[in-house]
Amino acid sequence: MDKQTILASLTPEVVDKFRMAIELGKWPDGRKITAEQRETCMQAVMIWEHEHLPLAERTGYIHKPVKEDGSIVGAECDVEHEHHYPNMPNPKGAVQPVKFRNK
């Protein structure tokens, strides 16, 4: 399934149900969510949030404090650096794209 197909099928209500299922480990009807369903829901939520929400409202957003001089603490680490991937033989350009399984 490609990104546009996923986005076309998602509504804010569906995304909220996915978030709740991920958090509780079960669907609204009480059935347990499987590991594969959880992974799929998380991918769908991330895609939807990336397209519809500002950065500060997305799941996993971490607010960075502002120093007295107006600079943002940790801003230098918003770009990938070698120290982020100490075990990789070639860490440059190590940002990994989200991979979707075709079914």
Dihedral sign (CA 10, 14, 19, 21): negative
29-64: pLDDT as tens digits: 999 999 999 999 999 999 899 888 888 888 888 777
Residue 25 placed within a domain: yes
When comparing pLDDT for 88 and 57, which is higher?
57
Compute the distance between CA of residue 93 and CA of residue 90 in angstroms, rounded to an integer.
Answer: 8
Residue 17 placed within a domain: yes
Q: Is the pTM of this model over 0.75?
A: no
* Strand partners of residue 26: 32
The two three-digit tokens of residue 66, written as one number: 């502002």
The arithmetic mean of pLDDT across residues 59-71, rounded, is 83
Residue 9 placed within a domain: yes
- DSSP 8-class letter at 92: T
When comparing pLDDT for 37 and 75, which is higher?
37
What phi, psi does 26 have (nearest 5°)? Answer: -155, 160
pLDDT at position 94 is 47
Q: What range does the domain containing 11 cover?
A: 3-57
Say which range, 17-26, 58-67, 71-80, 81-90, has the weakest mean pLDDT: 81-90
